[in-house]
Structure 1
Amino acid sequence: MASEIHMPAPVCLIENTEGQLVANQEALEILSGTKNPLVVVAIVGLYRTGKSYLMNKLAGKNKGFSLGSTVQSHTKGIWMWCVPHPKKPDHTLVLLDTEGLGDVEKGDNQNDSWIFALAILLSSTFVYNSMGTINQQAMDQLHYVTELSDRIRAKSSPNSNGIEDSADFVSFFPDFVWTLRDFSLELEADGLPITADEYLENSLKLKQGTTQSDQNFNLPRLCIRKFFPKKKCFIFDRPTHRKKLGQLETLHDNDLDPEFVQQASAFCSYIFKNSKTKTLSGDIKVNGPRLEKLVQTYVDAISRGDLPCMENAILALAQIENAAAVQKAIAHYDQQMGQMLQLPTETLQELLNLHRACEKEAIELFMRNSFKDRDHLCQKDLAAQLEKKRDDFCKQNVQASTDRCSDLLKDIFSPLEEAVKQGVYSKPGGYRLLIQKIQELKTKYLQQPNKGIQVTKIYVLILESC
């Protein structure tokens, strides 16, 4: 079970070395052993905005993801921490902490855009973390969302106009949570109190205008509204005095601002209760091996200079799992036939009935373990393999019956053959006695059990050879 996997600390899932993204084998092996459905929460945002602290709180720890206390970005690439889900039995909570966006030391916006896109592709809840208020500067910093349609493909072949269907594109997007750190404004509009969610909705309102300035203002807001149908906002006071921020890993809740502690608790409760299981199109629940394959597929596509494609990733995943489902079904068929089939069978129908029962179970097992079997290719492969196994069993049945009947006839008739050689029946009336003896031995032969379907054919062949 995935909940038995013990990760005392995060590991790097996707390494970022000099602008090259590479999947880390250690993390992939951890995922391969995580069989439970996954709830995947990813957090992104500018560097030095406290992302890692929130992720540690979700893990139920003070330490884990590197917090850092300087102006340098600590997290590089995407780091992963798998923990038992605190509210969903038999589920695993996968926390993904990403390197800070806009790190001046990197000097590579392309890299930031890919980190942002991968967080979208891999998560079921996407947390965007920023400082202060939602103003135009905050929106400008979220320009990565406007680039998503240039970074991700839902289908391998867009329509004839080269444009993807909007519903297909948005269908795999995660839920969106905006966390505002060190928020100092009063939550009110027109003199009335508003909620953080209402504040977010107000901030996403569009300008009515057609100037370039209006378009620049509206674009990130349009993308957020379009890509993320489900949105949530949380505000956080400063956790403690600025001089103590570097000690957050060692501070207890009673050392922090009570408002911040309550806000962090509300954020964690929401994530635990509302974050969904990572699900692919066709209601395919993602477990560890499936997320492992998605990571490999997306990172490989980026390294080749291609756009990560959701459809291709799912088909690659289906190809692997469907081939495994065929083998699992074949193994089940072999096991059942091996336990229940005793060769030779008395009739061919007895063998065929047993084959059909085991075949039915095998196909049902395949159907439970397969998905997106394009043109039923894997199911056809399974049917062909089962048909061959049926034919092989029929041949084995004939051979087993032949061998059994031949051995029986040899044992029963060998004394008679010896008597004929010795001339026992070469006397008057001997032929009648021989025929009588043959009938007695034939009756004895027919009374023997487990002769199978060759009982008459082999007897006739033996007689003809005498």
Structure 2
Amino acid sequence: MRYMGPFPAKSTVEMASEINMPGPVCLIENSDQELVVKQEALDILSAIKQPVVVVAIVGLYRTGKSYLMNKLAGKQKGFPLGSTVQSHTKGIWMWCVPHPEKKEHTLVLLDTEGLGDVEKGDNQNDCWIFALAVLLSSTFIYNSIGIINQQAMDQLHHTLLRKSVSELRFHVCPNLQYQFNLMSLQISISASTFFVWTLRDFSLELEINGKPVTPDEYLENSLALIKETDKTPKNLNESRKCIRKFFPEKKCFVFDRPADKTYLSKLETITEGDLSKEFVEQVGEFTSYIFSSAKVKTLSGGLKVDGPRLQSLVVTYVNAIRSGELPCMENAVLALAQIENSAAVQKAIEHYEEQIKQKVQLPTETLQELLDFLRPIEREALEVFMKNSFKDVDQMFQKELKDLLDARQDAVVKKNIDVSSAHCSDLLQDIFGPLEEEVKQGTFSKPGGYFLFLQRKQELEKKYNQAPGKGLQAEKMLKAYFESKEGVAATLLKMDQSLTEKEKEIEVERIKAEAAEAANRELKEMQTMQAQMMEEKEKSHREHVRQLAEKMQQEQRQFMAEQQNLLFLKLQEQERLLKEGFEKESRKLQEEIEKIKSSSSSCTIL
């Protein structure tokens, strides 16, 4: 694939940041049977920080898909309609517009090349395009001509659904030990994708057994299973089962022929007055429904997809296809989680460092004072991580964050010591510098000079102790300074002729006792600081455990909601099967229902 690695910002981003795309751009180019992600489209997605509602449309070529997508964009022109039997849209084209009804949301429209184009010669790319449209969208539209009959369902099933599964499995994964998990894909789609079937040039009356029905009822009736006999075709119900299984939530729209044949090639230029009144009303109902009902693209765990996340999904899926792997939603989510969690760690660290710059003034007078400042900052940083992370398997990224925060804390503690030491060193020089000069000038080199020196030293020590802002190294630096000047005091003591030898010996012992007492205080202070650091590490650990527990509970609630929604859809399908008289199929579905209940129970226990 031509695109690899990170996503650099380009000039197109500025345009997209205001969601002001004048027209669609190619997202995935289908060139010479090769899928290529286009950088321009990725740059646009990278700038969209809002949640995205992704609507994709597929169908056989020349069925009028692009016209509906232009209407959803609120434009007459945009996606090329084409006016001949030749397909115009190649690959997948994207148009991002402000959502007309959901504030601070972006509507992402994906128009796909026509499937089954005879000019391609090879329909392998059809299954790629279809699979990508399903996996990327939150609302998936299948557009076809005429009525829903066995042929139409078989086209959707065999040409699209079955090929998207079986051909990808055998073409991409010829090794049988790497099987495609159909149930996993089905759960992924049913949990996140709404299916809309649009029927173009529909000319029949919507009646069943002489009673008028809605398009939705017509769709459900068309998908009803048929009792099979020895004379019915084999696997008659396979298409119906597959569509019902993959898309438990469905909607149907029918459209009259838009205009006379003379106008059909001019849909981009003619006014609504030249179109069928019924067709205009039907298009209005369709767009209104999509605007109000199409949901935000959401991944398992309730993670709402924005532009950068959609960008990552696109790249991951296409890379998988090109590298011979399966474009699996689970794998894409895990790949996205790696990116998101790495970014979440970085955001948390940046918040930590920024808050330290704003709130922590070094040096602090005590270590405890500093730790009291750092604790809420670390809690906030952890909250930033929890807000932006998801699917952190085995808490790998949280552990990485914990190590980084511990290292940052240690660095701040060390810096606090260094700043205090530097400040105290300067202060000692300023205060005791004059005393050193007096010693050099011989002021104390006389009888009684030693005690005069001590008096002067004590006065300056008092001045030093009263000076504010020295930090926790104040006593240690003073002790170190006095130790560096012990030779001066010893010389003055020895030279002082007013003192007897006995008095000098007593003074030496006093000095030793003071030094020993100071050393004991320093040792106790170090032990206290070590205990404080250990206690702080324990508090930090408890905070990480607390926030992780809260996040796991939140994720469990989200999982339960997803399971309940899936269970509701399965129960609805089971009820329909029983009404249709298919008890065997109902029992098979009951096994899936029991698995869902079991997984929900396991989650609750955990």
Fold-level match, TM-score > 0.5? yes
- Following superposition, the deviation at residue 244 of structure 1 comes to 1.3
Q: Which residue of 1 aligns with 2:356?
A: 337
- Alpha-carbon distance between aligned partners in 2 of 1:343 and 1:83, rounded to the nearest angstrom: 49
**Shift in CA distance, 20/438, structure 1 to aligned 2, threshold 3 Å:** same
Secondary structure in structure 2 of the residue aligned to 1:337 = helix
Aligned partner of 1:278: which letter? K
Residues 173 and 461 of structure 1: CA distance in aligned 2, closer, same or farther (over 3 Å) = closer
What does residue 383 of structure 2 align with? Answer: 364
Distance change in 2, residues 1:3/1:259 (3 Å):
farther
Q: Is the 8 A contact 1:44 1:99 kept in 2?
A: yes
For 2:163, the equivalent position in structure 1 comes to 147
Cα distance in 2, alignment partners of residues 86 and 241 from structure 1: 31
Question: Does 1:77 find its partner at 2:91?
Answer: yes
Match of 2:454 in 1: 435
Q: Which residue of 2 aligns with 1:21?
A: 35
* Corresponding position: 1:323 with 2:342: yes
1:426 CA displacement: 2.6
* Map of 1:279 onto structure 2: 298
**Which digits, 9 at most, give the CA deviation of each residue in 1:408-448, with x for residues without a partner?**
22222222222223332232322222221111111111111
Specify the code of the residue in structure 2 equivalent to 1:82. C
Match of 2:329 in 1: 310
Tell me the CA shift for residue 369 of structure 1.
Answer: 1.2
2:284 alignment partner AA: S
In 1, the alpha carbon distance for the partners of 2:349 and 2:307 equals: 24
Equivalent residue letter for 2:72:
L
- Correspondence 1:90-109 to 2 at 5 A: 90-109=104-123
Unaligned segments of structure 2, at least 5 residues: 1-13, 486-606
Give the CA deviation at 1:163.
Answer: 4.8
Does residue 426 of structure 2 align to residue 407 of structure 1? yes
Higher RCO structure (Cα 8 Å, ≥6 apart): 1
CA distance in 2, matches of 1:403, 1:463: 16
Counterpart-to-counterpart distance in 1, 2:449 and 2:383: 64
Secondary structure in 2 matching 1:346:
coil
Which has the larger displacement, 413-422 or 27-36? 413-422
Instruction: Return the offset for 1:78.
Output: 0.7
Alignment equivalent of 1:239, drawn from 233, 258, 283:
258
Aligned partner of 2:202 in structure 1 is: 183
- Of 307-316 and 162-171, more deviation after overlay is shown by 162-171
Cα deviation for residue 210 of structure 1 reads: 6.5
Between 446-455 and 206-215, report the one with greater CA deviation: 206-215
Question: CA offsets per residue over residues 31-69 of structure 1, 9 Å max, x none?
Answer: 111111111111111111111111111111111111111
Residue 335 of structure 1 aligns to a residue whose secondary structure is: helix
| Cα-to-partner distance string for 1:312-361 (whole Å, 9 max, x where unaligned) | 11111111111111111111111111122222211111111111121111
List per-residue Cα deviations over 1:62-116 (Å, max 9, x = no partner): 1111111111111111111111111111111111111111111111121111111
Please tell me whether residue 66 in structure 1 is matched to residue 80 in structure 2: yes
8 Å Cα contact 1:3/1:92 also seen in 2: no
Could you tell me which residue of structure 1 aligns to residue 5 of structure 2?
Answer: none
Q: Paired residue for 1:138?
A: 152
Pair 1:164–1:233, CA change in 2 (3 A):
closer
Deviation of 1:215 (Å): 4.0
Pairing 1:378–2:397 present: yes
Distance in 1, Cα, partners of 2:216 & 2:34: 37
Matches within 5 A, 1:217-236: 217-236=236-255
SS at 2:325 equivalent: coil
Q: Is the 8 A contact 1:146 1:220 kept in 2?
A: no
Q: 1:265 to 1:162 in 2, by over 3 A?
A: closer
Question: Structure 1 residues 81 and 162, CA, compared in 2 at 3 Å: closer, same or farther?
Answer: closer
- Contact 2:192 2:298 survives alignment (8 Å): no
Letter of the 2:137 partner, please give it: S
Counting only pairs closer than 5 Å after superposition, residues 19-58 of structure 1 correspond to structure 2 as 19-58=33-72
AA matched with 1:187: L
Aligned residue identity for 1:150: S
Are 1:397 and 2:416 counterparts? yes
- Find out whether 1:205 has 2:247 as its counterpart: no
1:115 aligned to 2:134? no
Q: 1:463 to 1:169 in 2, by over 3 A?
A: closer
The amino acid of 2:372's aligned partner reads N
| Alignment partners' CA distance in 1, 2:200 and 2:84 | 17
- CA gap 1:444/1:152 in 2 versus in 1, 3 angstroms: farther
What are the Cα deviations for residues 241-261 of structure 1, in whole angstroms up to 9, with x where unaligned?
112100111111111111111
CA distance in 1, matches of 2:280, 2:45: 32
User: How many Å separate the matches in 2 of 1:102 and 1:414?
Assistant: 92
Counterpart contact for 2:55–2:110, Cα < 8 Å: yes
Q: Which moved more, 1:135-144 or 1:423-432?
A: 423-432
Q: State the distance in 2 between where 1:163 and 1:301 align.
A: 16
The residue type equivalent to 2:33 in the other structure is: G
**Can you list the C-alpha shifts for 1:144-172, whole angstroms capped at 9, x where unaligned?**
1233443679xx9x999975545634444
The answer on 1:387 being equivalent to 2:412 is: no
Match of 1:460 among 475, 479, 494: 479
Deviation of 1:3 after TM superposition, in Å, equals 7.0
- Change beyond 3 A, Cα 1:301–1:386: same
CA deviation after TM superposition for structure 1 residue 217, in Å: 2.2
Range moving further from structure 2, 170-179 or 276-285: 170-179
Distance 2:232 2:115 in 1: 25
Q: What is the CA–CA distance in structure 2 between the aligned matches of 1:218 and 1:147, rounded to whole Å?
A: 17
Instruction: Give the SS at the match of 1:81.
Output: strand
Matching residue's letter, 1:297: T
Distance 1:43 1:15, change over 3 A: same
TM-score (norm 1): 0.95
In the aligned structure 1, how far is the partner of 2:93 from the partner of 2:232? 38
Question: What SS does the aligned partner of 1:168 have?
Answer: helix
SS at match of 2:144: strand
Q: Which has the higher helix share?
A: 2
Query: In the TM superposition, what is the alpha-carbon distance from 1:380 to its structure 2 partner?
Result: 1.2
Residues in 2 aligned to 1:316 and 1:450: alpha-carbon distance in whole angstroms = 50
Show the counterpart of 1:270: 289
- 1:161 and 1:56, CA in 2 relative to 1: closer, same or farther beyond 3 A? closer
Quote the Cα distance in structure 2 between the aligned partners of 1:279 and 1:16.
Answer: 27
The TM-score, its normalising length taken from structure 2, stands at 0.73
Q: 1:254 aligns with which of 270, 273, 279?
A: 273
**Residue 584 of structure 2: aligned partner:** none
Is the 1:128–1:177 Cα contact (8 Å) retained in structure 2? yes
Query: For residue 441 of structure 2, what is the aligned residue in structure 1?
Result: 422
Deviating more after overlay: 375-384 vs 290-299 = 375-384
Q: Which ranges in structure 1 are unaligned for 5 or more consecutive residues? A: none
